[in-house]
Amino acid sequence: MINVSIVGASGYGGGELLRLLLGHPQAAVKQATSRSHLGEYLYQVHPNLRKRTQLKFCDPAQLEPVDVLFLALPHGEAQKKIAGFAGLAGKIIDLSADFRLKDMALYEKWYGAPHAAPEWPARFVYGLPELHRAEMAGASYISGVGCNATASNLALLPLVKAGLIDPVSPVIVEIKVGSSESGAEGNAGSHHAERANVIRTFSAFGHRHTAEVIQEMGLSHVSLTMTAVDLVRGVLATAHAQVKPGVTTKDLWKAYRAAASENPFIRVVKEQRGIYRAPEPKVLAGSNYADIGFELDESSGHVVSLCAIDNLMKGAAGSAVQCLNLVMGWDEMTGLDFPGLHPL
């Protein structure tokens, strides 16, 4: 059993981390910090945790040494304090965007400011086990993953890994997202009267998560278009690409089946019966699974690749706990066996 603490535990990502870690058979939650909810019981912010813990939010200044420290701070905060956090724990798993990008010029381009601790990102393993599993064994520092980047990267993973698409051809990823992506802090756009019932394209080009797809997939010409839909949890990435000449549907089946075989949380959904014939985020709420699927127009070579995830799980806290399992040498599915709900 190890001790873990969570810094910035009052947000949605922190709440999911708490839910997962409080039920994890190998981890004990020691402290959870929040300045804005100092002294409150965790369940007063995360009501699903009532009767699961009597912990209260504490001040970050009260943090004590632990085995693993999770950081769930707003973007830009962890990089300012990373040296201090590293003094409290030998292992850090961050959920923010602060340590995802390795190229500091790419970071500055996409985040609009220089990194406050440019020597640190290179020490972090990018936190998507499906891409960096081998590097995680025994690693000290794991970065977060962008939820939209994760859906995009997993949609593209079978195609890129098997070399089925030309890496210099344009790749367009249409992404539909739920409201929890924007975090626990409200704004004018998240006001119920404005957010309910929307199909709102809020970023046609230039979403920051694009940089993670460029970095991790090695694609030079990729763009993400973001559309908010009337969901609380969930991301559906629909990637459009061009396969190399001669690639067939059966080649794609082999590539997708291999991805599912190599990764316990990836499932292929390409059904010819029933209602759920393609990946859908709806049935993944609360689950760490990523459902992938595809369709190929063999006459034109146009492939549509899909990935559905729960943005707070595979796109954030679930992947972070999966990383914890790998870092510690445990079964990577430990504490992550919830399959989702149906109906929902």
Q: Which residues bind other proteins (CB under 8 A)?
A: 250, 253-254, 257, 268, 270-274, 277
CB of 277 to other proteins, least distance (A): 8
**Among 58, 147, 307, 323, which one carries the catalytic annotation?**
147
Nearest CB to other proteins, comparing residues 223 and 249: 249
CB of 177 to other proteins, least distance (A): 24
**Long-range contacts from 74-81, C-beta under 8 angstroms, 24+ separation:** 74/8, 74/11, 74/183, 75/111, 76/116, 77/8, 78/7, 79/115, 79/116, 79/117, 79/120, 80/116, 80/117
Rounded-to-integer distance, Cα 144 and Cα 126, Å? 7
Nearest CB to other proteins, comparing residues 290 and 324: 290
CB of 272 to other proteins, least distance (A): 4
Nearest CB to other proteins, comparing residues 54 and 272: 272
- Catalytic site includes residue 147: yes
Nearest CB to other proteins, comparing residues 51 and 273: 273
Rg (CA), the chain: 20
Please provide the size of the chain in residues. Answer: 344
CB of 283 to other proteins, least distance (A): 16
Nearest CB to other proteins, comparing residues 91 and 270: 270
Q: At what angle do helices 12-22 and 318-328 cross, to 10 degrees?
A: 50
Rounded-to-integer distance, Cα 27 and Cα 161, Å? 34
CB of 227 to other proteins, least distance (A): 21
CB of 270 to other proteins, least distance (A): 6
Nearest CB to other proteins, comparing residues 29 and 236: 236
CB of 337 to other proteins, least distance (A): 21
Nearest CB to other proteins, comparing residues 41 and 253: 253
Nearest to 328 by CA among 157, 49, 19, 89: 89
Catalytic residue set: 147
